[in-house]
Amino acid sequence: MIQTSILKVPPFSSELNLLLSFNRIEYNAAARQALQELTDVPGLNWTEFVHLVKHHRAYPTVYANISKLQLSTIPAEVVQALRSEYNDNTFQMLLFTAEMVEVSKCFEENHIRSLVLKGPVVAQRLYGDINRRTCKDLDILVPYQQIEQAEKLLLARGYVPDDDEDQILNDREWTIHHLAYTHPITRIQVELHWRLNSDRRTEPSFDELWERRNTSDINNSPVAFLGDEDLFLFLILHGARHGWFRIRWLIDIDRLLQIELNWNHAHQLLKKHGALQIAGQAIILANQLLGTPITDELIPLAQGNRPRKLAEKATVFIRECITLSPVPRELDLYYRRYLFQLCTMNQKMLFIISLLYPNKRDVETLPLPKRLYALYFPLRPILWFWRRVKQQAASS
């Protein structure tokens, strides 16, 4: 094992450090003593601590560890607030689990292969308990050729599309990677994916993912989800794309790294899809913030300046306790540059090319009849420039 270089960033608040400490996977006498001291810091803002735990969606693991350790320095009202969140999440995960099983079964009966990307099956795989992770929707990947068939089945189950926007020049496959549907009664949202990622980076084909799939026998019904190495690739790309602004995503990485992955295959997968540096970023963040061990297999990924610098840049989103939907105006440029730095040279070229493709905002800026949609291609630079001028004028 190695200890990575300490990140050159301003110190975190006492409340955030306490949250991180509660999410370490090992609890020995020294760790318990350190936690005891952190919970006894003069001036510790317990209201802020609870707020951070909720923001980072970390209450399943934090509450479980608080219950295990029985620290006398934690106020009763804090324990009660986290217990309430934990119980609500337990109920929510049971609902999601039941619906996940039903949707997967529906797809299978109609000869649609599907892979659940996150949710209860990932919670079961990483934590051994569906209650130890939160879930706001069901992300399901299907082959692109079967998207329309899968859509019809969801509609038949009562789901309603969240966005019924028109496609521009049949742009669905190029400009987006999923469609979202919400059930009006259960309020469960299903995101139907045909790609793992929203950007244009290369990724494993559905057939490859299916060949390497895991199967969970949750609720005594088989549900297919990503194999461990593919799950690692997916989770690091998802976390990096969102600046790791929720600690929960790093906790996932910490737990996944406790599983015995096939690191020869994982390295090949990361290299093929331009994610070596992003893997290094995730490993360094998990090591520095959660104490995740960097084993011999992880050393090549965690070494070098670029993974460390990417990790340092992501700490801004973690420290500021922000969400990136939408991106705060004061961080818009910083976030755009950060995303660009995540890309390899080929990915940067693809990103630049993708900027020339028309999108929904162009239609909103200058509505045209469908027969004239082809004009959006030559007009796109002008429309983009016009929006930037209006944005700057509004902010001045």
| Cα–Cα distance for residue pair 167/230, rounded to 1 Å | 30
Q: Which amino acid is at 6?
A: I
| Cα–Cα distance for residue pair 264/350, rounded to 1 Å | 28
Q: What is the mean pLDDT of residues 142-148?
A: 95
Is 80 exceeded by the pLDDT of residue 391?
no
Is 70 exceeded by the pLDDT of residue 395?
no
| Cα–Cα distance for residue pair 77/323, rounded to 1 Å | 26
- What pLDDT shows up at residue 164? 64
| Cα–Cα distance for residue pair 118/234, rounded to 1 Å | 10
Q: What pTM value is reported for the model? A: 0.89
Integer angstrom CA distances of residue 233 from 4, 166, 209, 227 = 21, 32, 11, 10
- What does the pLDDT look like over 159-191, one tens digit per residue? 999 976 555 555 555 567 889 999 999 999 999
Q: How many CB atoms lie within 10 A of CB 275?
A: 28
Burial letters for 5-24: b for 16+ Cβ neighbours within 10 Å, e otherwise?
eebeeeeeebbbebbbbbbb
Is 80 exceeded by the pLDDT of residue 214?
yes
- What pLDDT shows up at residue 390? 79
Q: What is the 3-state secondary structure (H, E, C) of 38-78?
A: HHCCCCCCHHHHHHHHHHCCCHHHHHHHHHHHCCCCCCHHH
* Residue 225 φ then ψ, to 5°: -145, 175
Q: Which of 19-33, 97-111, 166-180, 283-297 has the lowest mean pLDDT?
A: 166-180
| Cα–Cα distance for residue pair 112/105, rounded to 1 Å | 10
| Cα–Cα distance for residue pair 125/107, rounded to 1 Å | 22
- What does the pLDDT look like over 293-327, one tens digit per residue? 999 999 999 999 999 999 999 999 999 888 888 88
Mean pLDDT score of the chain: 90
Structure tokens given for 95:
């609902």
385 pLDDT band, cuts 50/70/90, is: confident
What does the DSSP assignment read for 136-163? SSEEEE--GGGHHHHHHHHHHTT-EES-
- What pLDDT shows up at residue 186? 94
